[in-house]
Amino acid sequence: MSFHRFQRFDQWPWVFGLHELVILLCTILPFPRPSSTLLSYTEKYYSHALLWFQYDALFYIHIAHHGYGQKISAFYPLLPLFIAMVSSRWLALLLLQGIFAIDLWLLSKWIRLFELSSSQQSLALILFAFNPAAVFYSTLYPETFIVLFWLASILLAIKKTYYRASVSAGLAALSHPTGALLGIIPLFLLIQSFVYQFFRPKDQKHQKNLNDQNSGDRKGYLVWGLGIAGGLGAFMLYSLFHWHTLFAPWTGEQRWHSQWIWPWQQYTFTLLLTTNHSLTQFIFWSVVSVPFLLGAGMLHRLHFPMKPVIILFTWINLLISLSFYANQDPFHSTIRLMSVDFPTYVGLAALPKSLCIKSIVIIWTGYMIYGTILFTHQWWWQ
């Protein structure tokens, strides 16, 4: 079969298969494990840890089987509910691999809306599947759900099926604190529709057609945004009854002494670390994180639906990821938070310099392999 004939088929299945194979090989690779003394400080439920079930995954499993405790939790309810419904962590893990495959399928559908070659489309899928935080898409972490519901919601909204887009957006809001960031898109489009109504052509016929179109879309944007409000509202209501506060969805992170900082401070704090390797860590984190910013910057060169607000959404997600600072540890969870920002992979795939993108693929894949080995062998990795 020639390469051109192969290109007629969807690329996502082989990308998914390759991702799963690499994760599996990293997991079964012999590698030393931390002592139980160290684990007692780093992993609360370490006695239940096994292979892909590590760290936050163990918290989600515990919540699924025992419910939320009296202490306010930073973990959103959708994943624990999912685990509880299937009643087995192994079945939940298997199903999440299927959901990750759907992520790749949806991303491939969204990528087709861009003016990209077949090789660039494949590259975008590879960048997503082998992003530095790819191990978290092969375990019980909510990243798989976030990408699923964000992509589904945007694709449904493009087709103007706003009610289904609203349901998907609401589920995204129940997945993770960043899930509600999708609300930026319907809010922006709603405001834009009003601006167009008052500042666009004076021709009466054209104005009437524009008003009719804006009126229909405006209702759709409102429905879309209400889905996110409904998802968050449901969790806030539960929070009020269970923890006696409406704001638990945003205060749970305080258990990790989290705070908000300026995005560039992740880099300056790394340089100020009182270790002999601060410069090395600065270079390391910069090389891994800057490509996400580069990908976001490349989006302006491409043509695709909802372009201005997708770019805005992408940058806000990246800046919030860089602004989250926990445990006085630079880049704690930062790369994992950035990894769900799927438009960046499309932007990177459009880079004109092949040497640059090849270097990014090699560096990210190496980081993914290293992180997967550490994580699946019970070393702290975020």
pLDDT for res 35: 84
* CA–CA separation, 358 and 240 (whole Å): 50
DSSP string for 189-243: HHHHHHHHHHHS---HHHHHHHHHHHHHHHHHHHHHHHHHHHHHHHHHHHHHHHH
DSSP state of 49: -
The answer to whether 328 and 266 have CB atoms below 8 angstroms apart is no
Query: What type of residue sits at position 162?
Result: Y
Give the closest residue to 128 by CA, choosing from 147, 109, 149: 147
DSSP string for 266-298: HHHHHHT-SSTTHHHHHHHHHHHHHHHHHHHHH
The answer to whether 381 and 371 have CB atoms below 8 angstroms apart is yes
Q: Which stretches in the chain have pLDDT values below 70? A: 1-9, 200-216, 254-257, 274-276, 327
How confident is the model over 71-105, as pLDDT tens digits?
A: 888 899 999 999 999 989 999 999 999 999 999 99
pLDDT for res 3: 34
Give the closest residue to 125 by CA, choosing from 348, 345, 351: 345
pLDDT for res 206: 47
Residue 316 has a CB neighbour count (10 Å cut-off) of 14
Give the closest residue to 362 by CA, choosing from 282, 287, 281: 287
The answer to whether 250 and 190 have CB atoms below 8 angstroms apart is no
Residue 121 has a CB neighbour count (10 Å cut-off) of 21
Give the closest residue to 230 by CA, choosing from 279, 172, 190, 273: 172
Task: Give helix then strand counts, H and E, for the chain.
Answer: 18, 2
Handedness of CA 86, 89, 92, 98 (dihedral sign): negative
Q: E strands along 290-344, which residues?
A: 324-325
The answer to whether 18 and 101 have CB atoms below 8 angstroms apart is no
pLDDT for res 2: 38
